[in-house]
Amino acid sequence: MTITAAADGSALGNPGPAGWAWYVDDDRWAAGGWPHATNNQGELMAVLDLFRATEHVDDDLHILCDSQYVINCITQWMPGWKRKGWRKGDGKPVLNLDLLKELDAAIVGRRYRFEWVKGHMGHTLNEAADARARAAAEAYQRRTAVPTGPGFPGGAHAGSPALVVPERAPTLFDAPAAPAAPLTLSPAQRLRLEQRAREQGVSLEQALRDLI
């Protein structure tokens, strides 16, 4: 069988408060985000989470994306970048390296194909993923609960609780007052921390406190 899903990212300001989401149907979707990221990071993260959420099933994946950058990264450019030590043809480092390395590992042994769809043109699955990614970005902007979705049945995120970003008391992801330097995490690092919090059934803040 084939699972058809749309993946999308949304950043308010690009970069800015950002969200990601993948969507199969109303019972199978997931979303998340960060206080500061780009559209491309969001869509890469949506694809990565889709692979992880479905790693326990033996179905093919048919992934709809409106970002040709994301599709080309995975289907065309990554092998060459890896041979060059994750550098582009001009010798400059590849952007979004952490996410790309995670994706490179996640797709091993999987059967998948990508299809480009034009965004904001009424495609049902694309519009559903876009709406959920934007809702996550807006939640980070407002510092309110992020709707994370039910996930995929039996998958890593099934039934995961909503991530709540406090309205007060700045977290370690907020820029601290000068002269202290802010703590920065890559999107992939933040995802791993969010996953740990979900697995433990605690808030992101509590998971951070447990690490200190």
Q: Say which of 9, 19, 33, 42 is annotated catalytic.
A: 9
DSSP three-state, residue 177: coil
The yes-or-no answer on residue 60 being catalytic is no
Q: Say which of 19, 32, 42, 43 is annotated catalytic.
A: 43
The yes-or-no answer on residue 66 being catalytic is yes
The yes-or-no answer on residue 199 being catalytic is no
Going edge to edge, which strands form the sheet with 112-116?
28-37, 16-25, 2-11, 60-65, 112-116
Q: Say which of 85, 90, 109, 120 is annotated catalytic.
A: 120
The strand pairing partners of 11, in sequence order, are 18
The yes-or-no answer on residue 130 being catalytic is yes
* d(C-alpha 78, C-alpha 75), whole Å: 7
Please choose, from the candidates 98, 50, 54, 96, the residue with its C-alpha nearest in 3D space to the C-alpha of residue 72.
Answer: 96
The yes-or-no answer on residue 8 being catalytic is yes
Helix axes 39-53, 187-200, angle to 10 degrees: 40
Q: Say which of 42, 49, 66, 149 is annotated catalytic.
A: 66
Q: Say which of 19, 130, 149, 194 is annotated catalytic.
A: 130
- Which residues form the catalytic set? 8-9, 43, 66, 120, 130
